[in-house]
């Protein structure tokens, strides 16, 4: 398992985590085995916006002995007091639900306490007015909540909340469908969404990713808006290439499904290559690099995707990206303009020209 560091909290988080939306459907024993399998495979990050309250005792039984080695995202506003999932903006209901979750998880602390599911500015106003945000802060003061998160599907609302309060993790819905206006939570334009990724990277806010397969649509040619199926591995790689992203949270409910997710770590570059999306209807990158790495290998050993990512972040004001660029052993200054990447790029990026641009920009930025 590969791990990524949340720069705001220092937490070392597995790049593959587990989402719990349908964990309970497998039944207690299989779900316990699946969670233990995930933990043994190096997964240490679990989202608990579960589809049903039955999920919490399952987690408690599976993982309470290793609690100190794992991270839980717990949602203030996800109500399980009656068993089924419900969304609540009522403070007393939220308090009861959080207490129930902690008891059933057999824990007394929350790694990431989430401002849950804010998709309208009015949700946020009500959330604050009803004292739920203050309650999270109160628990943080007491050490029960360690860090604060925000879950939302809507860039406009994310920006509004991030302008107002300090968060340590954003849970956002990312996949190639949503990024190009296709699917239930395809909120915001491609540029709005890209701006969120860059903002999080710049501010050190990690992103945990929900809906990585668009509820399974992207895996089935007959359901996909693109008319072609992607694999779970292509979707995961796409997500994990986005700036700011720390962990993808696919759902899993059986040992077999967890094993399939763990296989991500062993896949070859060819198996992870998602550049086929360049052929899809609706996908238009206008010659912008998506960091996919399809143009590899560069004869000079330049990691073309990474150099481009640092450049885009630097241009959008992320000074840390310039520092990261500096540490690369081989960078745009080493480009010999051979054009191999130009001919290989399915997204029509004129990369050899872009490398000159990056070289000039970074040389100037590094002198400053």
> Which residues contact ligand SF4 (rule: CB under 6 A)?
289-295, 298-300, 302, 304-305, 308, 335-341, 345, 347, 349, 351-352, 355
- Least Cβ distance, residue 227 to ligand SF4 (angstroms): 22
- Least Cβ distance, residue 235 to ligand SF4 (angstroms): 16
DSSP structure string for 72-127: EEEEETEE-TTSB-EE---HHHHHHHHHHHHHHHT-S-EEEEEE----SHHHHHHH
- Least Cβ distance, residue 203 to ligand SF4 (angstroms): 25
Instruction: Starting at the earlier edge strand, list the strands of the sheet with 245-248.
Output: 45-47, 71-76, 110-115, 145-151, 169-173, 206-210, 245-248
- Burial environment of residue 78 by CB neighbours within 10 A (0 to 12, 13 to 18, 19 or more): buried
- Count of residues making up the chain: 368
| Gap between the Cα atoms of 209 and 215, Å rounded | 13
- Least Cβ distance, residue 314 to ligand SF4 (angstroms): 16
- Least Cβ distance, residue 293 to ligand SF4 (angstroms): 5
Our CB check for ligand SF4 shows the closer of 119 and 303 to be 303
Our CB check for ligand SF4 shows the closer of 37 and 237 to be 237
Maximum separation of any 2 CA atoms in the chain, in Å: 65
Our CB check for ligand SF4 shows the closer of 243 and 250 to be 243
Our CB check for ligand SF4 shows the closer of 56 and 347 to be 347
Count of C-beta atoms within a 10 Å radius of residue 66: 12
- Residue 110: phi and psi, rounded to 5, are -125, 120
Our CB check for ligand SF4 shows the closer of 217 and 351 to be 351
Our CB check for ligand SF4 shows the closer of 300 and 328 to be 300
Judging by DSSP bridges, how do beta strands 86-87 and 78-79 pair with one another? antiparallel
- Least Cβ distance, residue 75 to ligand SF4 (angstroms): 35
Our CB check for ligand SF4 shows the closer of 163 and 191 to be 191
H or E stretch covering 45: strand 45-47
Q: Which of 316, 330, 296, 327 is nearest to 361 (CA)?
A: 316
Torsion angle in degrees (nearest 10) through CA of 313, 314, 318, 321:
80
Our CB check for ligand SF4 shows the closer of 133 and 238 to be 238
- Least Cβ distance, residue 239 to ligand SF4 (angstroms): 15
- Least Cβ distance, residue 274 to ligand SF4 (angstroms): 10
Spatial CB neighbours of 172, under 8 Å, sequence gap ≥ 6 = 151, 152, 153, 158, 196, 207, 208, 209, 210
């Amino acid at each position: 398992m590969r791990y990524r560091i949340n720069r705001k909290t220092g937490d070392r988080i597995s790049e593959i985590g587990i989402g719990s939306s349908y964990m309970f459907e497998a039944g207690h024993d299989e779900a316990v085995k699946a969670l233990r399998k995930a933990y043994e495979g190096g997964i240490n990050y679990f989202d608990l916006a579960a589809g049903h309250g039955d999920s919490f005792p399952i987690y408690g039984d599976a993982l309470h002995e290793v609690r100190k080695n794992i991270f839980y995202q717990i949602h203030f506003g996800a109500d399980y007091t009656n068993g089924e999932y419900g969304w609540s903006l009522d403070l007393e209901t939220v308090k009861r639900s959080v207490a129930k979750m902690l008891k059933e998880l057999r824990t007394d602390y929350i790694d990431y306490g989430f401002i849950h599911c804010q998709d309208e500015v009015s949700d946020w106003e009500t959330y604050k007015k009803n004292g739920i945000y203050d309650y999270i802060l109160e628990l943080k003061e007491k050490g029960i909540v360690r860090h604060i998160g925000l879950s939302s599907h809507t860039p406009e609302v994310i920006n509004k909340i991030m302008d107002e309060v300090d968060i340590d993790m954003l849970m956002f819905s990312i996949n190639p469908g949503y990024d190009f206006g296709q699917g239930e939570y395809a909120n915001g334009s491609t540029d709005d969404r890209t701006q969120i990724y860059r903002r999080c990277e710049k501010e050190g806010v990690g992103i945990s990713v929900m809906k990585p397969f668009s509820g399974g649509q992207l895996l089935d040619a007959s359901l996909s808006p693109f008319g072609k199926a992607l694999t779970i591995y292509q979707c995961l790689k796409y997500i994990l290439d986005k700036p700011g992203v720390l962990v993808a949270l696919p759902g899993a409910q059986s040992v077999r499904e967890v094993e399939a997710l763990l296989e991500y770590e062993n896949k070859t570059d060819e198996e992870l290559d998602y550049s086929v999306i360049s052929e899809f209807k609706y996908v238009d990158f206008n010659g912008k690099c998506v960091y996919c790495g399809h143009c590899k290998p560069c004869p000079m050993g330049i990691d073309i995707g990474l150099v481009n990512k640092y450049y885009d972040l630097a241009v959008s004001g992320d000074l840390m990206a310039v520092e990261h660029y500096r540490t690369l052993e081989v960078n745009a200054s080493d480009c010999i303009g051979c054009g191999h990447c130009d001919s290989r790029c399915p997204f029509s990026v004129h990369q050899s020209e872009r490398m000159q641009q990056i070289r000039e920009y970074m040389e100037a930025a590094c002198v400053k």
